[in-house]
């Protein structure tokens, strides 16, 4: 009975270990693509420091469900923000960088007037938002593969 229970526990942990390995590989891929510094890391999440007023977040939820976001403390991010987001988005989704860049520009432009926007791109949803917070404006964009 104990042997069966031990075997069951080991088999149950295999998918979790595989998911953790996949997330670890994804974190490494984003770091390599962006040169951002990992500031926080867990089995299914990472936060990266990516320059002045800029950070990235990565949520690992499986091979086709992970998402990456870029945050900028300000209303008008520099060009480097878009480049960083496109590199991170490509590392997570594999979507062509130029398609991501065009979708990012479209979503950011729409978010300026609507505060929030969603643009479909190559099987993913790209969303951007511009918020006014007590400590100043915040610009956020994320690319999320659709789990169709």
Q: Cα-flanking dihedrals φ and ψ of residue 76, to 5°?
A: -120, 85
The arithmetic mean of pLDDT across residues 108-115, rounded, is 89
Determine the Cα–Cα distance for residues 84 and 108; give it in Å rounded to an integer.
14
Q: Give the model's pLDDT for residue 11.
A: 42
Q: Give the model's pLDDT for residue 62.
A: 62
Q: What is the pTM of this model?
A: 0.82
Banded pLDDT at 63 (limits 50, 70, 90): low
Banded pLDDT at 5 (limits 50, 70, 90): very low
| pLDDT tens-digit series, residues 42-54 | 989 999 999 889 9
Beta bridge partners of 133: 136
| pLDDT tens-digit series, residues 112-148 | 888 899 999 998 999 999 988 788 889 999 999 876 5
| pLDDT tens-digit series, residues 11-28 | 444 444 555 678 999 999
Q: Please state the domain extents for the chain.
A: 2-145
- State yes or no: pLDDT of 103 exceeds 90: yes
* DSSP string computed for 12-75: HHHHHHHHHHHHHHHHHHHHHHH-PEEEEE-SSEEEEE-STTEEEEEE--STTT-EEEEEESSS
Task: Give me the sign of the Cα torsion angle 115, 118, 121, 126.
Answer: positive
């Amino acid at each position: 009975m104990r042997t069966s229970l031990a075997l069951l526990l080991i088999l149950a942990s295999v998918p979790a270990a595989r998911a953790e390995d996949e997330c670890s590989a994804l974190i490494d891929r984003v770091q390599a693509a962006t040169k951002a510094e990992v500031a926080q890391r867990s089995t299914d999440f990472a936060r990266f420091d990516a320059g002045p007023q800029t950070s990235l977040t990565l949520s690992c939820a499986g091979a086709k469900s992970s998402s990456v976001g870029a945050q900028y403390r300000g209303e008008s991010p520099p060009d480097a923000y878009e480049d960083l987001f496109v590199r991170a988005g490509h590392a997570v989704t594999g979507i062509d960088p130029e398609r991501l860049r065009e979708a990012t520009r479209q979503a950011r432009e729409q978010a300026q007037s609507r505060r929030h926007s969603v643009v479909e791109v190559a099987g993913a949803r790209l969303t951007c938002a511009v918020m006014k917070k007590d400590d100043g404006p915040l610009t956020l964009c994320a690319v999320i593969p659709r789990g169709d």
